[in-house]
């Protein structure tokens, strides 16, 4: 990981200045935040020589992507089995070989393979397993022995850890009585797509039925208002947030006699949870004092606060943005190749974006979609990728819409460049990009 970071610094001497985050350590969420910040800065990095800009941006994109995967693996190895961390990296490098696989990726893959035998040996050593797993196994065995009908939610920090702990449970003969399900958010991070709403619903229905799953391994999405069936055991595995999150999480143990355990080897996590408990006590004391107030006085006070807050909101209300009618470029976020112009973008059913013209067809390649399916008026058939040699950045999908075969692109795959000023901007959602959005007209397809 240090070698990969050093390689990135050779490409960009100012790498350390691309983020304000300091004192980062490998295998932490703070390091991931640093990577994300640096990667975003790299995507809008500009030079007079556009070929050199493309080369440097692509190299930094690759180095930071690999660093993020290594960081994920360190988090997995710290809180689960080293075997799961190594399998995570093997899957990543398998996908790397199947994509662009340019000289940089070949070099990084070779460096990983040179260490693979040593990593395999270390991962097989049982003494390297996190002791928390033994504690988790003991708690689960005890609770299900006392009550075989126990229903559990196991909260963890990251999606990668969700998969690792599911694999650990399924591979542990002592926990053969468990039928684990997983629940993660819908957002996309680190090139991994989250669970769709139908997938979340399917898992929750199975969990509520208490037949298909008796333990749900989840990220923070499960404490954010999703309707989850009553459970009587909540386990926080190196998982802590603010006081609101703490109360929401514990509230998942709705059944009578429910229990909540915090499993951590980090003194900072324990201290944060103790602070949350103190804040909760302060909140409960405040509620008791409020209940002694005269009801008329209480209502008057609330009305005054609400009126004041509304005044502040109204005074700060932002005007509706005016669409920018100037034509702009869409560049590949990975290699900075020109993909298309906003003048050629059309909006289908107010939320899907396609590109007209034969020029764009030359800019991407298609591969069969691993999960083709029909939704609404669309039939998802293929994925589209940047056609530039050794790039293959994911740009979106190819669909059949009514009688038309068209590409559908996602804005998070592109850098937007103002043609007049050269300023480059990143958008994660189309709704944040205020350009002139022209509705799709089938008549244009026949021109």
Residue 417: φ, ψ to 5° = -115, 125
What angle, rounded to 10 degrees, do the helices at 82-98 and 50-79 form? Answer: 160
Sheet with 328-332: list strands edge to edge: 338-341, 328-332, 414-418, 424-426
Sheet with 352-355: list strands edge to edge: 352-355, 345-348, 438-439
Distance set, CA 421 to CA 265, 333, 417, 425 (Å): 52, 19, 8, 12
Question: Which of 68, 55, 114 lies closest to 390, judged by CA?
Answer: 55
CB 156 within 8 A of CB 162: yes
How would you class 364 by CB atoms within 10 Å of its CB: exposed for 0-12, middle for 13-18, buried for 19 or more?
A: buried
Q: What's the number of CA atoms in the CB half-sphere (13 Å) around residue 215?
A: 25
Q: Is 309 helix (H, G, I), strand (E, B) or coil?
A: helix
Distance set, CA 291 to CA 244, 283, 297, 303 (Å): 21, 12, 11, 17
Query: Tokens 């229990």 appear where?
Result: 259
Query: Tokens 């009126």 appear where?
Result: 307
Question: Which of 200, 147, 156, 206 lies closest to 179, judged by CA?
Answer: 206
CB 217 within 8 A of CB 203: no
Question: For residues 317 and 150, what is the distance between their CA atoms, to the nearest angstrom?
Answer: 49
**Bridge partners of 100?**
none
Question: Which of 323, 149, 299, 291 lies closest to 229, judged by CA?
Answer: 149
Give the residue ranges of the annotated binding site for Zn(2+).
332, 335, 386, 391
Question: For residues 156 and 384, what is the distance between their CA atoms, to the nearest angstrom?
Answer: 33
Question: Which of 8, 7, 39 lies closest to 21, judged by CA?
Answer: 39
CB 141 within 8 A of CB 175: yes
CB 70 within 8 A of CB 116: no
In this structure, what DSSP letter does residue 322 have? P
Give the residue ranges of the annotated binding site.
332, 335, 386, 391
What angle, rounded to 10 degrees, do the helices at 243-250 and 267-290 form? Answer: 90
């Amino acid at each position: 990981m240090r070698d990969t970071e050093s390689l990135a610094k050779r490409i960009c001497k100012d790498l350390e200045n691309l983020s304000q985050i300091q004192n980062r350590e490998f295998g932490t969420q703070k390091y991931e935040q640093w990577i994300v910040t640096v990667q975003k800065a790299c995507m809008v990095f500009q030079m007079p020589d556009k070929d050199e800009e493309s080369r440097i941006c692509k190299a930094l994109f690759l180095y930071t992507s690999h660093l993020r995967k290594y960081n994920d693996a360190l988090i997995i190895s710290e809180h689960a089995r080293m075997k799961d961390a190594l399998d995570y990296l093997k899957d990543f490098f398998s996908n790397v070989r199947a994509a662009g696989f340019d000289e940089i990726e070949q070099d990084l893959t070779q460096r990983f393979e040179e260490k693979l035998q040593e990593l395999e040996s270390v991962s097989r050593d049982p003494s390297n397993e996190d002791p928390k797993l033994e504690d988790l196994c003991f708690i689960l065995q005890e609770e299900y022995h006392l009550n075989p009908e126990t229903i559990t939610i196991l909260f963890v920090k990251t999606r990668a850890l969700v998969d690792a702990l599911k694999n650990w449970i399924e591979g542990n003969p002592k926990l053969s009585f468990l039928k684990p399900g997983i629940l993660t958010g819908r957002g996309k991070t680190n090139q991994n797509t989250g669970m769709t709403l139908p997938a979340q619903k399917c898992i929750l229905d199975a969990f509520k039925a208490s037949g298909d799953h008796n333990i749900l391994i989840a990220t923070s999405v499960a404490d954010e208002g999703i309707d989850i069936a009553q459970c009587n055991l909540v386990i926080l595995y190196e998982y802590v947030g603010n006081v609101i999150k703490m109360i929401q999480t514990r509230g998942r143990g709705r059944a009578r006699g429910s229990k909540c355990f915090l499993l951590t080897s980090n003194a900072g996590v324990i201290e944060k949870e103790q602070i949350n408990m103190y804040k909760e006590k302060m909140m409960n004391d405040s509620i008791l004092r409020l209940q002694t107030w005269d009801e008329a006085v209480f209502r008057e006070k609330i009305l005054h606060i609400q009126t004041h807050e509304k005044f502040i909101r109204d005074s700060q209300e932002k005007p509706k943005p005016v669409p920018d009618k100037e034509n702009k470029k869409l560049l590949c976020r990975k290699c900075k190749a020109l993909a298309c112009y906003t003048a050629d973008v059309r909006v289908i059913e107010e939320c899907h974006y396609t590109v007209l013209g034969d020029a764009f067809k030359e800019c991407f390649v298609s591969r069969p979609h691993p999960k083709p399916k029909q939704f609404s008026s669309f039939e998802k058939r293929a994925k589209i990728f940047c056609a530039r040699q050794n790039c293959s950045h994911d740009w979106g999908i190819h669909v059949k819409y009514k009688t038309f075969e068209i590409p559908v692109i996602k804005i998070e795959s592109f850098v937007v460049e103002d043609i007049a000023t050269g300023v480059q901007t990143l958008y994660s959602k189309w709704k944040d990009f205020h350009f002139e959005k022209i509705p799709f007209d089938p008549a244009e397809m026949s021109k």
